[in-house]
């Protein structure tokens, strides 16, 4: 059993085809079907709006259920576009034993520690993937104002933090929170 065959020219010259008629086009080796107004190439490709959700659900909490894949993608896009774009770099040591100005390359600390993790799960890669220095924005969200001159801290676009120690921590601990944001 076979289906009718024809070239593109022969296919386009067919008159009176019924909706759903099928033809194998020998010009481009594809199956076409008649929609009632045009020949359409048959594929197994589906657009996201053609794939129904197994169970419609409100994925973004706006009281509207998303019924197909496209609606789900559109609903979660604003959420996922921000997720994992903000992260804390690994812990680093800043010597605050004496007053004075100094700098530390936050980016170099980040890449060094991610390249040499102390432990990992069995199937994890040996090295943690990292972003390029200019792929990130760098922030200090808090620095102990009794230890750091918080009004004169600067961070270069490549992640070098310049700071001044103005006092020593009373218990050898001082906090500085650094956050990276993927551009």
Question: Is the model's pLDDT at 59 over the cut of 70?
Answer: yes
The reported pLDDT for the residue numbered 43 is: 79
DSSP letter for each residue of 90-140: PP-----SS-EEEEEEHHHHHHHHHHS-S---TTS-SS-----GGGEEEEE
Taking the C-alpha atoms of residue 103 and residue 94, their distance in angstroms, rounded to an integer, is 9
**Mind listing the pLDDT tens digit for each residue in 148-166?**
999 999 999 999 999 999 9
Predicted pLDDT of residue 49: 66
Scan for tokens 């102990």, then name that residue. 144
For the segment 33-58, the average pLDDT, to the nearest whole number, is 80
DSSP state of 148: B
Question: Is residue 50 within 8 Å of residue 68, measured between CB atoms?
Answer: yes
Q: CA nearest 176: which of 94, 85, 86?
A: 94
Q: Are 96 and 165 in contact (CB under 8 A)?
A: yes
pTM of whole model > 0.75?
Answer: no
pLDDT score for 82: 65
In sequence order, the 6+-apart residues with CB closer than 8 A to the CB of 112 are none
Would you state the pLDDT for residue 60? 80
Is residue 48 pLDDT above 80, yes or no? Answer: no
SS3 48: helix
What's the pLDDT tens digit per position in 75-105? 887 777 666 688 888 888 888 889 999 999 9
- 129-143 burial, b at 16+ Cβ within 10 Å, e below that, comes to ebeebeebebebeeb
- Helix H segments across the chain? 8-12, 69-80, 106-115
Between 61 and 112, the higher pLDDT residue:
112
* Cα radius of gyration rounded to whole Å, the chain: 30
What percent of the chain is predicted at pLDDT more than 70?
Answer: 94
């Amino acid at each position: 059993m076979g289906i009718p065959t024809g070239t593109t020219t022969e296919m386009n010259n067919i008159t009176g085809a019924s909706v759903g008629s099928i033809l194998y086009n020998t010009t481009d080796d594809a199956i076409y079907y008649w929609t009632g107004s045009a020949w359409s190439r048959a594929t197994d490709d589906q657009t996201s709006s053609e794939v129904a959700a197994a169970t419609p659900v409100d994925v973004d909490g706006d009281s509207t259920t998303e019924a197909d894949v496209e609606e789900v993608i559109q609903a979660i896009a604003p959420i996922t576009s921000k997720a994992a774009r903000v992260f804390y770099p690994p812990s680093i040591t800043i010597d605050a034993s004496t007053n004075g100005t100094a700098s530390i390359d936050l980016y170099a600390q980040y890449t060094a520690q991610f390249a040499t993790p102390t432990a990992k799960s069995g199937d994890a890669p040996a090295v943690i993937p990292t972003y390029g220095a200019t792929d990130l924005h760098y922030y200090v969200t808090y620095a102990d104002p009794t230890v750091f001159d918080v009004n004169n801290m600067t961070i270069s676009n490549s992640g070098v933090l310049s700071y001044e120690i103005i006092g020593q921590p009373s218990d050898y601990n001082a906090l500085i929170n650094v956050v990276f944001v993927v551009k």
